[in-house]
Amino acid sequence: MSLYIDLTEFLASLRRSGIERISGEICKHAPAESLIPIRHNSDRYLSLPVPLINLVGKYFRDNSGSEASEIRRLAAVDSGLPLKVSKNDIILVPEIFAGPRAEFFRQMPEQELQRYRFIVYDLLPATHPEYFPPDLPLILSQYFRIVRRATCCAFISEYTRDVYIQRLKRTDRTDGEVLSLGSDALGPKAGRPLLNRPLTFSVLGTIEPRKNHELILEAVEPLLGKVEGLSLSFIGKMGWVDPDFARKVEALASDKNSGFRFFPSPSDDMIRSHIEQSRATIYVSAAEGYGLPPVESLWLGTPVIASKMNPSLVRLGDQGIHYVDPLTVMNLRRAILEFLDDDYANRKTEQISSLNLPTWRSFTEEVLRWCGHDS
């Protein structure tokens, strides 16, 4: 029995963020020679050299990019061999796909499709199309039809699993493997709580409508310049937002006296540094399949101001977390004001040490166990 991992999208882009990060973390933490890398080409899969797994893991571990050229060499289409799958083999698909790969699965017989294990991240483009570019739900409709047909799907949260069952499968079943994403992509866990931090608040993630950056800025902007030492940082690239809001962000960031900063191309080290220096991070998304930034913040010992729409926080209670519910400008502003009080901010910071947060190693172990390859 062999376990193959589909790295098609990652090998095409070599991105270390978003869904590609999940593939990279699996390669990083999987035991040696437990996975065989494959990529889709035209109407078939190609099996690639096994050392590619370790190289991809090193690419994510070192974060240097020095392995990129060797990854491209080993992953070249002409270095692959046509994949011959036996009836006991398993193919793990930890990516979202469209186009030729979707058509490949569409034509696949049901019996063969049973060998494939799909990790489903979210169905937000289908359930909340208003938060995405107009063409994305249509592009991903093929993918949604494939995972609806599939018999072996796992999910990154109970919320995603329940939406899948209710909206795609349309049954009353509540089963389905839930895999807990890791919190430690930005490095070692925080040690002793860092108290009495500066009045810095950071917002992590791509600027896009569902992340509610506009609401955050509306809540905080009246306080900037009026509360001594207060600052707000947006850390993430500019996504699909209203052009007027994008111009406002750029204009505020260019004013050195505004108290507002914008970092569109942060490295992992920069993100970690900003989180560690923040009194709290803010993550008040309107819709999420999981929501990594809040748990990554908690892992580094920094409290989170969050909406109730983050499945990653459901099991954590309110330790280190201040929920804004209902989510309004005034309620968010009140949360910011509460964190200006040292006693309250320190208490929320100290609560974090009691949390048991998943790691990418534990996630990988869950994935391998689900695929029948636990050690």
Residue 307 near residue 313, CB atoms below 8 Å: no
User: Which amino acid type is present at position 74?
Assistant: L
Query: For residue 139, is it left (φ>0), alpha (ψ between -120 and 50) or beta?
Result: alpha
Distance CA 296, CA 187 (A): 9
Please tell me whether residue 371 adopts helix, strand or coil conformation.
coil
Residues 6+ apart with CB under 8 A from 177: 153, 154, 155, 366, 370
Terminal Cα-to-Cα distance of the chain (whole angstroms): 14
- 103-124, pLDDT tens digit by residue? 999 999 999 999 999 999 989 9
Residue of 160, 193, 213, 176 whose CA lies nearest to 346: 193
CATH number of 200-354: 3.40.50.2000
Distance separating alpha carbons of residues 213 and 202, to the nearest angstrom = 11
Question: What is the tens place of the pLDDT at every residue in 307-346?
Answer: 999 999 999 999 999 999 999 999 999 999 999 999 999 9
Judge if the upstream peptide bond of residue 311 is cis by omega within 30 degrees of 0. Answer: no
Per CATH, the number for 3-182+360-370 is: 3.40.50
pLDDT value for 84: 86
Residue-wise burial string across 118-155, b where 16 or more C-beta atoms lie within 10 A, e elsewhere: bbbbbbbbbebeebbeeebbeebebbbebbeebebbbb
Q: Where in the chain is the domain with CATH 3.40.50.2000?
A: 200-354
In this structure, what DSSP letter does residue 167 have? I
Percent of the chain with pLDDT over 70: 99
pTM assigned to the model: 0.93
